[in-house]
Chains A and B, each alone.
Chain A
Amino acid sequence: MSQYASLLIALPLFGAFFIPILKRTSKNAVMPFLVLVTLIQTGIAAWVFNEVYTTGKPIIVLAGGFKPPVGINLYIGHFAALFVLVIALASFLMAVFSLRAVSIEPKDKYAMLFLLLMLGATGMISTGDIFNLFVFMEITAISAYALTAYNKTGEASEAALKYIVLGGIGSSFFLVGVALIYGSLGTLNMAHIAELAHLVNPTVAKAGLALLIFGLAVEAEQFPLNAWAPDAYQEAPHPVTAMFSAFVVKASLYAMGRVIYILSAVEGWDSILRLLIILGTLTVIIGEMSALRQSNVKRMFAYSSIAQVGLIAVGLALGTQAGLSASVFHMFNHAIVKALMFLAVGYVALELGGAEISKFEGLGKKMPITAFAITVGAVSIIGIPLFNVFWSKVQLILAALNAQYTWVVALILGASLVEATYYIRLIHAMWFKGEGEKVKESNVLALVMLLLVALIIVIGIYPEPFWNAMQKAGSDIFDVAQYVKNVPLLGVNP
C-alpha cells in the first residue's frame, strides 16, 4: 500500500502529459483541471502525511521494485511527508489563484509547467538518491526558468536569463561533486553514501561536499549565489513567485541539509558548516538591507524572503538537532506566510496594475481583506508573539545559543528590526495613507487568504502540535544513523 506514495510523482506527471490532449477537446478546461490535479495531489499528500505520522515510520518507495542502492528509492520520512503536504497545498492554493492571475497565453503550457514545478520540488524532498536529486533539481529549475520568463516581457526574459546562467553554473558544479563522490564510493544512494561515508578519501569528500553544497546553494538562494532570485521573484507570474518562496527554495534548502548530514563523517565537515553559516548570515544581512528601501513591494518581499532563507540556512548549518528542527519550523512557517504575502501582493498588482508601493496606499480602504492579510503576514514575519514565525525565530535563537553561536542571535535581532522598519512602512501605507474606492475582492481569494491567516494565527497561539511535527522532521534529517537504518539497503558493499 505504501508504494502508492509514488502517485505523488506519477500524478503531476500524468496531469502534465494529459493537458496537451485535454487542450484539444476543451481549452477552457485546462486551468480547472490544474486545480483538480493539485487538489488530488493534496489528498494524496495528506494520506501520506497521515500514514507517516501515525506509524512513525518513513515510507520507502522503491522505483521499479529494486532495493537501494541498486534501485532509486524515495524516502518519505517525517520531513518529506510534511513538506509534500506543504507543497501540494501551496500548489493547490496557487492553482486557484492562477485561475485569476494568469491571463497571458498559452495557459495550457503554464499549467503543465506549474505541475512540473510542483513535481520537481516534491521529487527533490523525497528522493533518496543523489543523482536523482540532481534530476529533480533540474526539473524544478528548468520549469522555474520557463515560468520566470512566462510573461514574455523583456524584464522577464532578463530575469530568466540570469537564473539560467547562475543555475547552469551551479548544476554543473553540483554534478562535478556527484562525480567525485561516485568516483570515490561507487554508489549514489544517499543512505548508502552515509553508510560508507567514512571510506571516502578525505580530499575527495571535502571537495565533493563543497561542490554539492555550492550547486545547491545557488538554488537555495544563499548570498552571493542568489543574485538571480530578486529578479526572478519580481518577474515571475504571481502564483509562481509564491511557489518559489513557499517551497521551491525550501526544497533546495532541504537538499542542502540532507547532503550535509549524510556526509557528516567527512573530515572538515565542521568548517563547511561554518562557511555555510557565514553565507547564511550574509544572506540575511544583504537581503534585509536590500529590502529596506524597495519601491516595488513584490521585490521587497523577495528580498525579505531571501533574508529568511538565510536564517533557515544558518539553522541548518548549526549542526545540532535543535538547529535543524528550528530551521524546519522556520521553513514551514515561512512557507505559509510567504505564500500568503505573494498571493496578496500579486492580487493587488493584478487589481491595481502594479506592485509599486504607491499602489498600496489606501489599500486598507480599497481591498481591506487583502490589506489585512498582508498585515498579518508582515506582523508574523517580524516575529511578533502569537503569530507563527515568532515561534520559529525563538527556536532558532535557542538553537543558536545552544550551539554557541551567540552572534547569530544578534543577527536575528538586527534582521527583525530592519524587517520591522520596512513592513511597518508598508502597513502604514496601506492603512494610513491614500484614499480609494473599494474594489470588489474575489471571494475565493479572500477565502484562501483568510485560511492562511487563520493558519498563521493558529500556529501562533497553539504551536505545540506543529513544533512536535517539526522536531520529528528535523530529526529525520539530523539522525543519519536512523536514516540509514530505515532504508532497506541491499548488501552491496565493498
Chain B
Amino acid sequence: MGEASRISRYIYTVLTLFVIWLFLTSSFDPQEVAIGAIFALIVGALTYEVFTERGLGNLSPKRVLYFIAYIPYFLWAMIKANLDVAYRVLHPKRPINPGIVECKTVLTNNVGKLALANSITLTPGTITLDVKGNRYFIHWIDVKDESVEGASEKITKPFEKFLKVIFE
C-alpha cells in the first residue's frame, strides 16, 4: 500500500495531535482548545511527513474496530505474561529455559512491525531483540520450540491476525 496524499496525512496528524492535546489538558476550555488547535496545526505541519504514511486511511472503520478489539486481547496477554513473570520470579527455583529464537512475520508495514515487536515484548516470556526485514529475533525465557516455524506459530501468529488488519 503506497503513501496517501499529503492533505490526508496532514489532517490525520493534526487530528491525532489535537486529540492528544485534549487528553493532555483534560479540559474543554475554549482557550485551551483554540491554542491546542493552533499547536496541532503547527506541529502537524512540521511532522506529518515522518508521522504517517497512510494518513486518514488509518481511520477506516474496520481498522478502528479491530484496533478496539485488539486492546482487551493484548491486555489479557499482558496480564498473563505478568502472572507468568511473577511465577518465575517468586518461584524459589527460578524456573527458566532461555534462548534466542527466530520468527518470521507476514507484516510489511513498519508501524505494524513496531506494534508486533512491542506486543511481543510485553507478552509472555519474550522480548524482541532485533528485527531484520521480516525476521524477528526474540529472546524467549522458556524456549519451547527452536525452529522458525514453531516459534512463529507460538509467538507472532497470535498477534498478527489483528495487526494485519489494523496496519496492512
A–B contact via C-beta, under 8 angstroms:
no
